[in-house]
Amino acid sequence: MNSSISGANSGTNQTLMGGGGTEAARRGGVSAAGFIGGAEAPLGTITGFAAAFSSFSLARPQIMPEESARLARAERFELQAVARSTLPGHRIRCCLLYRRPNTASVEVRRSSVSGLAYYAGLQVCGRGAVCPICGARIAEHNRGEIQAALDVWRGRGGVPALLTFTMPHYRSQGLAENVKGLLGAYRALTGHRSYREVAGAGGLTHSIRSLEVTWGRQNGFHPHLHMLGFFGSGYGAAGLRERLPLLWLAELQRHIDITNTDHVLERGVRFQVGFPAGAEYLSKVGQAWGLAEEVAKANRKKGRGDHYSPVQLLCHVRDGTLPEAAAVYREYAEASKGLHFLQWSRGARAALGLAEEKCDEEKADGEDQGDVVLASLTAEEWRAVRVGGWQARSRLVELADYDEDAALGYVAHLVERFRQASGGVR
Ligand SMILES: [Zn+2]
């Protein structure tokens, strides 16, 4: 049983997560390693991409999409359909299926950044926590902004660091209750005078916190927080490492029942990227993800061991490899309502040169007016694509990546099939 689960799991995630590392390399983003220690990103990632890119870019001026990104997009269409049927009545039911009221037609466009074809003019749910398509778009948008903020901070001689705050959790506890306790404790911690003193001594000026939720058979839901701190260069000597665990324990005790205080002191706060003792972690994870990915795409990472990410849970629902997966996903979706998974500290965005934050629906629409329009579909054409299910919607953009004529031919085929199915009545 176990081997079949982990087998299905790793295969799925290879496809899903494949775009992450290469995307970072392709965009030339500053990895955590490059930022702090001057180490280089894994060679395989960069050279692998460069080889693929040059062979295409010489042949055609258009940016050719990465195969891993095309596979990931196809899988997101499929997993969105799985999420839709797992969550009846959820807002995801309309996502990328129906035209937005204020748009003339559904268009197929090609992104000038990724080279991937996509649909424009459709409603999106913007529920990044549960919708695989909106989630990927929102995470990518956040990643870009965090990277820009890190670049500004680096230019000012600052140092970024990543901390993780966890809490003890048991299978009997509900997620909503745990998240409430976790967020309450974090809010109280960051408002506490002692925390402000010790963080201030380290030059902590801004921060971004992201909420990540995983689930495991043994201990149930495991909500935890990542905090990306924008520190001054002398932060290492400020005593954060010694004092923060005690402060965190005190706040957790005020918000949830804690039986094992030693556990919290030992593992409640993890000093990751950017801290001296985090060098090992940096070499393993930082190179592949970079800090921006680590924070922005927390819920899209591959879980470790008995910890499944929400996306992995959906894969299990699809594959039928984890009996509890659908019920767990439903509880996760319910508890996620209204939560801010990513939050910038007050004033951080303006101070780091970013505009006012967009809402998740705007981040999720993924449209760029400058992108090439490959096709404008009539109402009937879109209906024919829509009734073809996720497979038809996925297939159409796959064809449009390389060949608009083939894509249009496919639409004509779908319309024909649709007319036949509806007995000639349009
Ligand atoms: Zn959506």
Region of 30 (left: φ > 0; alpha: ψ -120 to 50; beta: rest) is beta
When pLDDT is averaged across residues 194-204 and rounded to a whole number, the result is 89
CA of 399 to the centre of ligand 1 (A): 22
Of residues 112 and 285, more confidence is placed in 112
Q: Which residues pair with 109 in a beta bridge?
A: 118, 373
CB 185 within 8 A of CB 209: no
CA of 22 to the centre of ligand 1 (A): 24
CA of 278 to the centre of ligand 1 (A): 36
CA of 130 to the centre of ligand 1 (A): 8
CB 21 within 8 A of CB 302: no
When pLDDT is averaged across residues 96-108 and rounded to a whole number, the result is 93
Q: Pick the most confident of 171-175, 184-188, 293-297.
A: 184-188
> Which residues 6+ apart lie within 8 Å of 6 measured at CB?
none
The packing angle between helices 310-319 and 325-336, to 10°, is 140
312-354 tens-digit pLDDT: 999 999 999 999 999 999 999 999 999 999 999 999 999 999 9
CA of 396 to the centre of ligand 1 (A): 19
Return the pLDDT at 380: 95
Could you tell me the two tokens for 341? 């998974």
CA distances from 401 to 104, 143, 375, 393, 396 (A): 23, 24, 12, 13, 9
CA of 272 to the centre of ligand 1 (A): 32
CA of 401 to the centre of ligand 1 (A): 21
CA of 33 to the centre of ligand 1 (A): 33
CA of 73 to the centre of ligand 1 (A): 13
pLDDT above 90 as % of the chain:
50
> How much is the mean pLDDT over the chain?
79
Return the pLDDT at 249: 95
The packing angle between helices 389-402 and 379-387, to 10°, is 120
CA of 192 to the centre of ligand 1 (A): 37
CA of 269 to the centre of ligand 1 (A): 33
When pLDDT is averaged across residues 172-193 and rounded to a whole number, the result is 92
CA of 19 to the centre of ligand 1 (A): 19
CA of 95 to the centre of ligand 1 (A): 5
- 3 state SS of 12: helix
CA of 203 to the centre of ligand 1 (A): 39
- Rounded to 5 degrees, what angle do the CA atoms 212, 217, 219 make? 65
Tell me the pLDDT band of 410, cut-offs 50, 70 and 90: very high
CA of 127 to the centre of ligand 1 (A): 6
CA of 97 to the centre of ligand 1 (A): 10
Which stretches of 236-285 are DSSP H helices? 240-255, 261-267, 279-281
CA of 53 to the centre of ligand 1 (A): 30
CA of 143 to the centre of ligand 1 (A): 18
CA of 136 to the centre of ligand 1 (A): 9
CA of 80 to the centre of ligand 1 (A): 8
Could you tell me the two tokens for 38? 């001057």
CA of 152 to the centre of ligand 1 (A): 31
CA of 197 to the centre of ligand 1 (A): 41
CA of 132 to the centre of ligand 1 (A): 7
Report whether pLDDT(399) > 50: yes
- 3 state SS of 215: strand
The most distant pair of C-alpha atoms in the chain lies apart, rounded to whole Å, by: 76
When pLDDT is averaged across residues 184-209 and rounded to a whole number, the result is 92
Query: DSSP assignment, residue 303?
Result: P
CA of 190 to the centre of ligand 1 (A): 32
CB 244 within 8 A of CB 186: no
